Amino acid sequence: MGKTYKYKNLEFPVGDSEKVNFTVEFISNGNDAQTVVNVPGDLDPEIEDEGTEFIGLGKHLRDSITVVGSNLYNPLPLKKEDTIEVDYKINGKVIQKHKNDKNVEKRPTVYLLINFPEK
């Protein structure tokens, strides 16, 4: 099992009617990723590799902490890529950068615990 990186107490103020989009963006090369955003309800948005998904309106995200889980994997030889670096964004703004040395872990799991307080 790979090393887990947990980023807690993240905050992103949003308006009640504001649409919230979550983005995964690769920075380093050779990454493979699956990301799930646990939102209220049974259907959690999923992102394969990179991309952006609508995760809900501000007022629907306010009542609980949103948990994002991301499995990253980088099997490239170290001489080609020695780092895993991924940006997590909400509405285009970086909420968390993740970076780790592949010597430490080439298959990390990243969790983001995000609050969406009123703007």
Partner 1 sequence: MKLSLTLIILSFGIQTAFCQDDILDMSTPSSPASKILDLSPSTVLTPKSYKALETTLFSNFTGNSGNIVPNDFSLDFMPYWVKDRGLSLENYLRAGFNDQFFQNLSISVASTQDYLLGNNEPSDAIAFGIRSSWFMGNEDDVKDINSYMNSFDQTSFAILNITTEALSIITNNKANSKSEFIAELTPRIEAEIEKRYHPKEAQNIIDKIIKAAWDKLSKDYSSDKNNYDTIIDEIVQETLGIQETYTKFEDYIEERPGWYLDIGFATLINFPESNFESLTSPKQSLWITPSYQFKKDLKFLKALGVFRYESYNLDFYKEYFPDSTVYQDNRDFGLSVSGSFENLSIEFEAVRRFSKTETLDEPDNQGNQEYSGTKREDYQFLGTLNYKINENILLSYSLGDRFPNLLYGNENTLISLLTLNFGFGGPTKNSINSL
> Which residues would be at the binding site for partner 1 (CB under 8 A)?
1, 4, 25-32, 34-38, 42, 44, 46, 48-50, 64-65, 67-71, 73-76, 79-82, 85, 107, 109, 111, 113
Q: Residue 17 or 106: which CB sits closer to partner 1?
A: 106
Smallest distance, partner 1 to C-beta of residue 79, A: 5
Give the β-pairing of 109-115 and 66-73. Answer: antiparallel
Beta carbon nearer to partner 1, 57 or 65: 65
* Smallest gap from residue 11 Cβ to partner 1 (A): 14
CB of 30 to partner 1, least distance (A): 5
Strand order in the sheet with 51-57: 51-57, 19-26, 83-90, 93-101
Two tokens, residue 53? 């998904």
DSSP string covering 58-88, please? HHHHSSS-EEEEEEEE--S-TTT--EEEEEE
